Structure formats: structure tokens, C-alpha cells
Amino acid sequence: MSDRLYIFDTTLRDGEQVPGCQLNTVEKIEVAKALEGLGVDVIEAGFPISSPGDFESIVEISKAVTWPTICSLTRAVQKDIDVAAESLKYAKKGRIHTGIGTSYYHIHHKLNSNPDAILERAVEAVKYAKKYVEDVEFYAEDAGRTENEYLARVIEAVIKVGATVVNIPDTTGYCLPHEFGEKIKYLVDNVEGIHKATISTHCHNDLGMATANTIAGVMNGARQAEVTINGIGERAGNTSLEEIVMTLKSRYKVLNIDTNINTTKIYGASRLVSNLMNMPVQPNKAVVGRNAFAHSSGIHQDGVLKNRENYEIMDPTDVGINESSILLTARSGRAALKHRLELLGFKLEKEKLDEVYEEFLKLADKKKDIKDDDIALLVGDATRKERRIKLDFLQVVTGKDLMPMATVRLDIAGEKFDATSAGNGPVDSAIKAVKQIIHRQVIIDEFLVQAITRGSDDVGKVHMQVEYENTIFHGFGANTDIITASVEAFLDAINKLPVAK
């Protein structure tokens, strides 16, 4: 008989905390629905006390999603718990996730407290949350660096007052896999009543061991894993959903543990999150990276042609990678595009589909080999068209031993403005021309240009971080012309600035 691992997805909470990855409520609902389609058991939808936007998103996700449990995060603070309970009022199954730091560092240097007082606060928080919901998860923040004996005391105490899930986060990504596994085993062996609760892992990837630590935890008795799509999350990220699910599937004979995930939807969910959050997936990322199933050396190609299993331990179609089955070209119709978009997790209304299709045809004229990433970018572009400041015209003159000059026309709420500027390069001259029009003291802190697939006809993606009045804003642009992509990224960030009076 196999065991079941519950998948708790925190893309919309721990993942969304990443600078530049913030989503609006509509986008969060789209991700939540994709997670439901994927078959996750729990969706951590936000930290409601942190902002009205987070609160509203949990309410709307609760309405939009049917069967996964919706989870709302709190500190061990009554006001947080009140707000979390309120945020879950429409959830068919709601869970409050409350907790407190238990490591020496957190107790003494963050909470200015002592171990007994922290244990008391943990118990009081769980008791208080139980007044609202039956399903209460407790997290012992920085459990990875918490002494096992004290951790066991805290966990035993919260289970006694009704915690249904006990989360053991390696908050700082510090543990080695054998240490994390032993920690879970210690709790299994030493906590009275441990069988009354599910043990959960929540590993961060600071040393690149989040997946290994989670698997070690599962091998020692954890039956819930907290994960994010593409491993996004604070700093180096969280354990990635796709790595855990595919490890369990590929090594089932050894681990004998199942999940409820429909693995063929993994790739679509990965693209959706990457595109909505403007967070590129590294090409060599396990399971969902562009090169995860690409064989480039002659020996490997020959081996795969003889028998796929010579060099592949997973079938790409098992994770929903099916690129070559429909080749999209300038002759493809709307239906083919719609089908491809649906595989990528996008369900578009007719009007938006028409708009994306028009842009698709223009791109297909410039680029013969249209990839999934190109298509997902077109969807993003169609959304950006609704912005207040738009690029209407751009002309750049540049070349070796020439002074680059750019002329820009912006459409600001329907009115047109022109400017021309020189610069030390084509991007610099175009951005300087834009700045002449918008008159805002904006500093570009980060500027990242990336080709998304390959070839000189490729689409270039630009990520920009700008600073305005001590606040950071992120912008994103994509185009076969990287100067246009750069200006689009700059304008994307500018559109997020407070409107000037």
C-alpha cells in the first residue's frame, strides 16, 4: 500500500513575497485555478494582515476555487488570526496557518523573549485559531536551527490544543538532508500524540538543498510538503513543486509515496507563473527548464534516438511538454493558437484571443519558429496595452563610431508627446528621450536583457528595476527589437508610479 503526500502550495504567499513578483487579484485567481487543476491539496493564498490586497485576494480565491483547502497565514497574534478567519469566510475548506520563531536567534534576537514564553504564545495562538476553524496548522519558524528537544516540546504542546498540521520550516535553508531527516524522525519518535497531526516540511533553498531536505523529511514521516511552482520564494526560493512531485513519481519503487498531482499540467502551471510574475525560469532548471529535456551532444542524441530511456529518466509528455506536436507558424489558425494557449494555462475571452492572434501573426512573419515562451509573452503584451503611458513611436540611429540618437513619441492618456535625445548607446538615448517627456526623477537600478529561446530572430526579454522617491518598481518588456523591449520595460515600471498631480 502506498502512502500519500499532501501538496501545500505557497506560490501565492511565500512565492509572491519576492520583489517584482507581485500579482493583482485577477492574476492570483488565475494562478489559484491552475493550482486547483493541477490537483494541489492546499493553496496558501496570502498573509491577510499584511495588506488589504492580500486580504481581498484570499476572499476572491476562496470564492473561485472549489476543492483545495484555502490557507491564510498569520503570526501568533490575535488580531492577525481574527483577520485570517475573516479572509476565509467564503472558503469551502479553510485553514489558519499560525506560528512563531523557535530558534535561539528568533527567540532572543527577534522576539526578545525566552523559550517558555514562546511556547506559551504558540499554544495560545493555536487555541485562539481553533475558535474559528477546525483545521489549524502551526509553524515553528526557523525549526531548521531549533534544538530538537525544545522543538519537540513546542510541537507536543500545540498538538495537545488541537493543531492538525505541524509545519517544520527550514526557514534559512541551513540544514543538510540527513540533519533535516533526523529532525523529523526525532519528532516522530519523541512527541506524544504526533500521530494526531500531519507533519509538514517547508524548506528554503539557500544552499540548494530544499528538494533534498524535503525528500529526507518525507522519508522520515512528513506527509505534507510546502512547495512553490518553479521554486520561487524568499531569497533563493522554496522547494519546487515539480521537483518533489516528479521525484516521487520517478522513484516510486523506492519511496512508495503518491501525490494527487496531475503531472501533465506541470509545464503549463510553470509557464503561467513565470509569465504572470515576470520571473524567468533558468534554462537548466530541473523538470521545467528549457534544457531539461534537450539533448545537445551527438552521443546523447544518438543514445536517445536508439532508446529514450538511455538518457531520460522522465518522459517529457508526463510533465506536459509536448512542443513539437503542434508547430505554430504564420499559417496557423486561431484554433491552433487557442489550443496551444490552453495547454499553457491561458483561457482567453474571444476579444483578447483576437488581439493576441493579430500580434501572433505579426511575430510569425518575423520569426519562423514560434515557441511557447513567445506565445506567453504575447498574452502579457496584450495586457500591457491597457496601460496609461504607451510607446507610440520609436526611432533609433546607431552604429559603430556614430553618436546614438533616439526619437520617442509617447501616448499619455490619449495625448502625444515627442522628444529626441543622444546617449552613450541606443538604449540610453531612448530612455533619456522618455525621461524628457515624463519629467520624473527615476533611477534605473537593474537592467537585465535575455533572449528567450535561441537564434538572432529571437524575442528579447528585458527586466528593469527602477527607484522613485525611495520606492522600487519593476518593469518588463519583450520584443524582437531589444531597444523597443527596453523602452517597454521602462514604461511598464513608470506606469506603476503614483500618478503625478
48 and 94 Cβ atoms separated by less than 8 Å: no
Alpha carbon separation from 256 to 94, 117, 247, 261 (Å, rounded): 29, 41, 11, 15
Q: Is 243 in the site for ligand KIV (CB under 6 A)?
A: no
Comparison of 48 and 169: residue with beta carbon closer to ligand KIV:
169
Q: Is 139 in the site for ligand KIV (CB under 6 A)?
A: yes
**Among residues 145, 61, 153, 58, which one has the least CA distance to residue 101?**
145
The amino acid occupying position 365 is D
Q: Is 121 in the site for ligand KIV (CB under 6 A)?
A: no
Give the residue, chosen from 141, 242, 355, 373, that forms a contact with ligand KIV under the rule CB under 6 A: 141
**Among residues 412, 411, 431, which one has the least CA distance to residue 421?**
431
Give the residue, chosen from 9, 14, 16, 135, that forms a contact with ligand KIV under the rule CB under 6 A: 14
Binding footprint of ligand KIV, residue count (CB under 6 A) = 8
As measured in angstroms, the least distance from the Cβ of 9 to Zn ion is 13
As measured in angstroms, the least distance from the Cβ of 174 to Zn ion is 13
Comparison of 143 and 389: residue with beta carbon closer to ligand KIV:
143
Q: Is 202 in the site for ligand KIV (CB under 6 A)?
A: yes
Residue-by-residue DSSP string for 182-213: HHHHHHHHH-TTGGGSEEEEEEB-TTS-HHHH
Q: Which does 220 bind (CB under 5 to 8 A by kind): ligand KIV, Zn ion, none?
A: none
All three cell numbers of 227 = 512547495
- Cα angle: 468, vertex 470, 472; to 5 degrees: 65
All three cell numbers of 450 = 535575455
Contacting range for ligand KIV; rule: CB under 6 A; set: 121-129, 165-173, 307-315, 450-458: 165-173
Comparison of 16 and 492: residue with beta carbon closer to ligand KIV:
16
440 and 466 Cβ atoms separated by less than 8 Å: no
Binding footprint of Zn ion, residue count (CB under 5 A) = 1
Comparison of 183 and 204: residue with beta carbon closer to ligand KIV:
204
All three cell numbers of 471 = 520606492
Residue 486 neighbours by CB under 8 Å, 6+ apart: 427, 430, 431, 447, 449, 462, 464, 477
Distance of alpha carbon 88 from alpha carbon 93, whole angstroms: 9
Distance of alpha carbon 51 from alpha carbon 479, whole angstroms: 34
Q: Which does 404 bind (CB under 5 to 8 A by kind): Zn ion, ligand KIV, none?
A: none
Q: Which of residues 249-308 bind ligand KIV (CB under 6 A)?
A: none
Q: Which does 139 bind (CB under 5 to 8 A by kind): ligand KIV, Zn ion, none?
A: ligand KIV
As measured in angstroms, the least distance from the Cβ of 379 to ligand KIV is 30
Alpha helices (H) along 251-349: 252-255, 266-276, 298-306, 334-343
191 and 159 Cβ atoms separated by less than 8 Å: yes
Q: Is 80 in the site for ligand KIV (CB under 6 A)?
A: no
Give the residue, chosen from 68, 169, 404, 475, that forms a contact with ligand KIV under the rule CB under 6 A: 169
Contacting range for Zn ion; rule: CB under 5 A; set: 6-14, 67-75, 211-219, 272-280: 6-14
Q: Which does 80 bind (CB under 5 to 8 A by kind): Zn ion, ligand KIV, none?
A: none
All three cell numbers of 355 = 488581439
All three cell numbers of 332 = 496557423
Comparison of 167 and 214: residue with beta carbon closer to ligand KIV:
167
Residues 8-37, one symbol each (x = binds Zn ion by CB under 5 A, - = not), give ------x-----------------------
As measured in angstroms, the least distance from the Cβ of 322 to Zn ion is 33
Alpha carbon separation from 443 to 19, 34, 222, 447, 469 (Å, rounded): 17, 36, 47, 11, 9
94 and 69 Cβ atoms separated by less than 8 Å: yes
CB-nearest residue to Zn ion: 14
36 and 9 Cβ atoms separated by less than 8 Å: no
Q: Which does 230 bind (CB under 5 to 8 A by kind): Zn ion, ligand KIV, none?
A: none
Binding-site ranges for Zn ion (CB under 5 A)? 14
Binding-site ranges for ligand KIV (CB under 6 A)? 14, 139, 141, 167, 169, 171, 202, 204
